[in-house]
Amino acid sequence: MTYVLAIDQGTTSTRAILFDSAMTAVASAQEQFPQHFPDSGWVEHDPQDLWATTTTTCRGAIERGGISASQITAIGITNQRETVVVWDKKTGDPIHNAIVWQDRRTAEQCRTLRDGGHEAMITARTGLLLDPYFSSTKLAWILNNVEGARARAADGELLFGTIDSFLIWKLTGGAVHATDATNAARTMLYDIHKGRWSSTICKLLDIPMQMLPEVKDCAADFGHTQSGLFGAEIPIYGVAGDQQAATIGQACFEPGMLKSTYGTGCFALLNTGETPVVSENRLLTTIAYQLDGKPTYALEGSIFVAGAVVQWLRDGLQIIKDAAETQGLAEQADPHQNVVLVPAFVGLGAPYWNPDCRGAVFGLTRGTGPAEMAKAALESVGYQTRDLLEAMAADWQATGVQPTLRVDGGMAASDWAMQFLSDIIAAPVDRPKNQETTALGVAWLAGMRAGVYPDQQTFAASWTQDKQFNPTMDETQRETKYASWKRAVQATLGF
């Protein structure tokens, strides 16, 4: 038997999943790591935690699978996107904590760049909006705020990367400094039309281009792991940012196909084929995947808080002990209370893009309790998804968005949340049998590159449905509830 090992380095935990030759997950290991919040709206990770949990989970998956590393044909890496690491080229040691995609510390710098008239140029090249979410201003912040960093970067002593690049560097013992096109496309430094780093944007932000990694296809040779790590040298053949990996894992290979992933945040991607569609509704134009040097584009809507709202119920309000409790609470909620939660804990993403607003709850009564709060939390994810889908439909009218939404991620396991999602978007919601779509997507990339997994068409045909949710809510109730959400968002933005 041969195997493919998928590394899924996420925002709150790292997982390693072992897939057999039939693309079935046979063993896995997962480890959480601390989140650091040094100031309001700031979010950091210790890069050494990301590296340590990567090695321990890989070893754990190999051990639980009862195999040797020599039986692993290839490794695929998928990762939290936009998160920034800068490290010493000689030692591999980070010079600062990783600044996480959720971090908003560069909001003022983004505002200054916008006021300076630079957003149109940046959007035209990168497909992205000028927002702290993306990597470039985070990188500039590190260079400007870590003593000596800018001079060292100019002298070629420092390297920049998103998490995939950092892990590739560490896994290969510093032999490879590379990323893939999907991660590069999220940095706000990469020209998605020309397929190269933008010297214009780098000059604007005073970022030395020698810091930047080489950009490769999603299925490519990213080097080999050092034999001492796992017991054998293993080729790294697949890399994709987590949302693009989920798009691949959901087999959304045809223009018009749409997936939405519910993890810490929620990310909906619409495949637009060879055409990069310019959004008129503040969505992002990005690369869905790149194979054989040819990019396939997507429209993306990004919601900063999805599963994180359930974590807040657990860790912040402490009204639940486990995320699974939310479904039972939502079922018990008083149907006559119209409680609306806008989870703008770190600002609002698409289609609003306001980094400064913060969360709010509307409609509280003396009778509001944990059940109503849990219901409002789950409903907020459905409302935000509808915001994205309406914007996508308005942007891409030529061919049209296919009516069925494919879902994955932790929250997709909740029947209550998925039924509400179907009700509020008035469309079918398909949940696949294999919900490990992010890891599966990058495993397929690596296995396909290694020649042990099938081609794209055969892989797409293997997608199977677990359950389809169909709308049952009447139109009047649907539109009344959505109108309440829209009012709540406007009030939150105005606060």
Q: Which residues pair with 219 in a beta bridge?
A: 238
Work out whether the CA dihedral 191, 195, 197, 198 comes out positive or negative: negative
Q: Per the structure block, which two tokens stand in for 144?
A: 């400007």
Domain co-membership, 334 together with 309: yes
* Amino acid occupying residue 426: A
Domain co-membership, 107 together with 36: yes
Domain co-membership, 218 together with 257: no
pLDDT at position 400: 59
Q: How far apart (Å, rounded) are the C-alpha atoms in residues 495 and 490?
A: 9
Q: How far apart (Å, rounded) are the C-alpha atoms in residues 358 and 3?
A: 45
Domain co-membership, 35 together with 183: yes
Q: To the nearest whole percent, how much of the chain has pLDDT over 90? A: 77
Q: Which of 183, 215, 242 is the last residue of a domain?
A: 242
Domain co-membership, 214 together with 270: no
Q: How far apart (Å, rounded) are the C-alpha atoms in residues 378 and 241?
A: 25
Q: How far apart (Å, rounded) are the C-alpha atoms in residues 51 and 13?
A: 11
Domain co-membership, 295 together with 328: yes
Q: Taking Cα atoms as reference points, which of 272, 266, 213 lies closest to residue 77?
A: 213
pLDDT at position 460: 92
CB atoms within 10 A of CB 491: 13
pLDDT at position 3: 96
Domain range for 132: 3-242
Domain co-membership, 238 together with 265: no
Count how many domains the chain has. Answer: 2
Q: Is residue 383 part of a domain?
A: yes
How, if at all, do strands 214-216 and 178-180 pair? Answer: parallel
Q: Which of 242, 262, 284 is the last residue of a domain?
A: 242
Q: Is residue 437 part of a domain?
A: no
pLDDT at position 320: 85
Q: Which of 224, 242, 260 is the last residue of a domain?
A: 242
pLDDT at position 391: 86
CB atoms within 10 A of CB 422: 23
Domain co-membership, 169 together with 314: no
Q: Per the structure block, which two tokens stand in for 418?
A: 């998925």
Q: How far apart (Å, rounded) are the C-alpha atoms in residues 281 and 28?
A: 40
Domain co-membership, 288 together with 385: yes
First to last CA, the chain: 59
Task: Collapse the DSSP code of 17 into the 3-class scheme (helix H, G, I; strand E, B; otherwise coil) and give the result.
Answer: strand
pTM of the complete model: 0.87
Q: What is the CATH number of the domain that holds 171?
A: 3.30.420.40
Q: Is residue 451 part of a domain?
A: no
Q: How far apart (Å, rounded) are the C-alpha atoms in residues 423 and 443?
A: 33
Q: Per the structure block, which two tokens stand in for 185?
A: 């496309």
Q: How far apart (Å, rounded) are the C-alpha atoms in residues 386 and 389?
A: 5
pLDDT at position 399: 57
Q: Which residues pair with 17 in a beta bridge?
A: 6, 28
Domain co-membership, 238 together with 255: no
CA atoms within 13 A on the CB side of 316: 11
pLDDT at position 346: 82
Residues 283 and 392: beta-carbon distance below 8 Å: yes
Q: Is residue 34 part of a domain?
A: yes
Q: Is residue 330 part of a domain?
A: yes
Domain co-membership, 206 together with 303: no
Domain co-membership, 165 together with 285: no
Q: Is residue 411 part of a domain?
A: yes
Q: Is residue 440 part of a domain?
A: no
pLDDT at position 263: 80
pLDDT at position 475: 94
Which residue stretches of the chain have pLDDT < 50? none
Residues 16 and 6: beta-carbon distance below 8 Å: yes
Q: How far apart (Å, rounded) are the C-alpha atoms in residues 238 and 444?
A: 8
Q: Is residue 171 part of a domain?
A: yes
Q: Per the structure block, which two tokens stand in for 349?
A: 């993403």
